[in-house]
Amino acid sequence: MAMKSLVVEDVKITPLKESVFVKPLSLEFRQNGKQRKWDMIRVHDSVTIIIFNTTRQKLICVKQFRPAVYYSSIPEDDKKSGRIDTSKHPPSLGITLEFCAGIVDKNKSLVETAREEVLEECGYDVPLEKFEWFKTARYAAYCMLTPFHLISTTINLLMICVVHVIFRAGVSTEGTRSNFFYVEVTDDMKVNQGGGLVDEGEVIEVVELSIPEAREYAEAIDNISPAGFSFGLLWFFMKKSQTF
């Protein structure tokens, strides 16, 4: 229901002057005797949590409006004026399907951050000991992968090859760490409807996917999801889904 009632209007493109979340910078270095310069963005590391409700046998995911995805979905000619016509480019272009996730920006451990995000976004109050950390990945891929590319992304010692798939990924300007957790929940742990922090303007819709529905989504060519979602689904299919 949250995404159906979403209203995005008066969209303007403005220069980034100052941000508590994003810090642009350049790294100058000499590589094999040649001077180089690389533009980067310093952002917070993050946690991503794969949630499986064993009561209903469903993966718990979230939908939300991502401004950067919305911006990248609009043709360049329609952005030149500095304003975006939402009647021509509806906000649905920026709605992504993801796992519960959040940035690591507080004086808390990774698992405490993961627990907090699950409660805020999805409404489950889960004990810390239920969370299973399984991977820390560094994002160093291009922003958009197109059909017929063969992408080999090394995540620690795990090699994943993705063929003929489009997905949103962290860009080579970041190199941030995304810490992946898995947790199983039950209906008894549900204490509220989730939806994010309203006072911070978050609008999040909780979405449940059966294992067959998740497989069908993973096989789709054009997924409006981050790369971490595709990785998380593959991990779940390989490591957990056989037990359910």
Q: Tens digits of per-residue pLDDT, 179-235?
A: 999 999 999 999 999 999 888 888 999 999 999 999 999 988 888 898 889 889 999
As a whole number, mean pLDDT of residues 163-178 equals 55
- pTM of the predicted structure, to 2 decimals: 0.84
Is pLDDT at 116 greater than 60 in this prediction? yes
Q: What is the pLDDT of residue 174?
A: 66
pLDDT bucket at 21, cuts 50 / 70 / 90:
confident
For residues 180 and 228, is the Cβ–Cβ distance under 8 A? Answer: yes
Question: Bigger pLDDT: 139 or 44?
Answer: 44
Q: What is the pLDDT of residue 139?
A: 61
Is pLDDT at 148 greater than 70 in this prediction? no
12 CB burial (10 A radius; 0-12, 13-18, 19+)? exposed
Tell me the sheet residues that pair with 124.
190
Is pLDDT at 144 greater than 70 in this prediction? no
pLDDT bucket at 40, cuts 50 / 70 / 90:
confident
pLDDT bucket at 145, cuts 50 / 70 / 90:
very low
* Highest averaged pLDDT of the listed ranges 70-79, 158-167, 193-202: 70-79
As a whole number, mean pLDDT of residues 121-142 equals 85
CA–CA gap between residue 241 and residue 63 (Å, rounded): 22
Picking from 7-11, 116-120, 157-161, which range would have the lowest pLDDT averaged per residue?
157-161
Which residue is listed with tokens 């359910």?
A: 244
Percent of the chain, pLDDT > 90?
64
Q: Residues 6 or more apart from 243 whose CB is under 8 A from it?
A: none
From the candidate CATH numbers 3.90.1720.10, 3.10.310.40, 3.90.79.10, 3.40.50.12780, the one assigned to the domain spanning 11-138+179-212: 3.90.79.10
